Amino acid sequence: MPQPFPVYEIEGGAHECGVSHGKQAAERVARTLEIYLPAFTRQAKLTLEEIRERARAYAAAITDLDRDIMRELEGIASGSGQRLEDIVAVNCRTEILYGSLSGAMPAPECTTIVALPEATRDGGILVGKNWDWRSACVDAVVVLKIRQTGKPALTLIVEAGMVGRDAFNEDGIVVCGNLLVSNDDKGQVGVPVPILRRRIVQARYFYEAIDMLVRSPRGASGNYLIAHRDGVAIDFETSPNHAFPVYPDRGLLTHSNHFQSTVAQAAGIAKYYTGDSLYRDFRARQLLEAKIGSITLDDIKATLRDHFGYPRAICRHPHDYPGSEPTVTISSQIFDPKTGVVHIAAGQPCESEYVTVTLPSRDRQIVVA
């Protein structure tokens, strides 16, 4: 059974948080770079110097948008003893691997579930996700509990060295994402996905979180589920040029790696996905729809452990993947923003137990159960 992911507490100003992240997770930051720098060369057909040149262009865009996030990236590089360009590059992994390919690669990745108060037994909100990605990356994942000066406290599940992925904050904002690829992906420089997700989860208000996404110049397509503990969630299917909202039906929303929006489909940008994406989100809804009004945490766990379509199931298992890197479920997480708890299973949830991690507490005590 996989061991739970390490949980690190970081606090202070932006640069100080980055240094703490880099020092505490130095081995896993190195693992992230070991995985991605060769992958960039293989898949994006870029030399190491071309990767770093592209990273410098992204660094300028990040600095213009959010100087604090750039300071944090600089701190991660300093704390981990790695080159800044390499840290920036892994924070642009979606843009480098997929954004420059004009949609040539399909998007095999995650399954996301949202159950709103009208769908749950206790009137709360649950946001679940299986993070399906390259199997080696399970060794790079960390959980960060962040108290950054002037920002909401948050808990973040991420590959070490990155500043954003799936997270929730003390003001009730949750963000989860899924990989999307579209015809709009032309290799343009914009705000990378991890930076967008971090800015979303640093919002204090739901409208502010949405503005962070739709008003930012995006460098690649992506799916962003933004939810609030008071019982509202909207999914945004985005390309660099468009944002298509998708709303829950009867308090339930499921998503995988294809555009669901009929507007996006009619526009013809939504061609690049693997066949399993079409049944993973349908299967999740199929398992939960009959339970609308009484959905529990255990129901979400059971759905995230489902093996229909094995090995390319909601709970994804190793298998050959012609023409692409093999992927598995490297993490499963369920956010309960009303109680301030996230349940996390390392690796495939059928083989792991969920542990609970809280938001950073006011008494500065990390709680892992």
Domains defined for the chain, CATH in brackets: 103-358 (3.60.60.10)
Helix (H) or strand (E) holding 95, with range, is none
The values of phi and psi at residue 205, to 5°, are -125, 150
Apex 44 CA angle, 97 and 67, nearest 5: 50
Least Cα distance to 72 among 183, 158, 130, 172 occurs for 158
The values of phi and psi at residue 180, to 5°, are -130, 150
Contacts 24+ apart (CB under 8 A), 233-239: 233/114, 233/116, 233/125, 233/127, 233/174, 234/210, 235/112, 235/114, 235/260, 236/210, 237/180, 237/261, 237/264, 238/180, 238/213, 238/214, 239/180, 239/182, 239/183, 239/184, 239/185, 239/264, 239/269
Record the tokens describing residue 178, joined without a space: 């899924």
Q: Is the pLDDT assigned to residue 353 strictly greater than 90?
A: yes
Q: What average pLDDT does this structure show over 340-363?
A: 92
What pLDDT sits at residue 320? 73
Rounded Cα–Cα distance for residues 247 and 11 (Å)? 35
Record the tokens describing residue 251, joined without a space: 């308090």
pLDDT band at residue 160 under the 50/70/90 scheme: very high
Which three-class secondary structure state does DSSP give residue 131? strand
Rounded Cα–Cα distance for residues 255 and 246 (Å)? 10
pLDDT digits 0-9 by tens, 201-255: 999 999 999 999 999 989 889 999 999 999 999 999 999 989 999 999 999 999 9
Q: Is the pLDDT assigned to residue 366 strictly greater than 60?
A: no
Q: Is the pLDDT assigned to residue 59 strictly greater than 90?
A: yes
Amino acid found at 33: L
Rounded Cα–Cα distance for residues 116 and 54 (Å)? 41
Q: Mean pLDDT in the chain?
A: 92
Q: Lowest mean pLDDT of 51-55, 103-107, 150-154, 159-163, name the range.
A: 103-107
pLDDT digits 0-9 by tens, 295-321: 999 999 999 999 999 999 999 998 876
Q: Is the pLDDT assigned to residue 106 strictly greater than 90?
A: no
State pTM to two decimals: 0.94
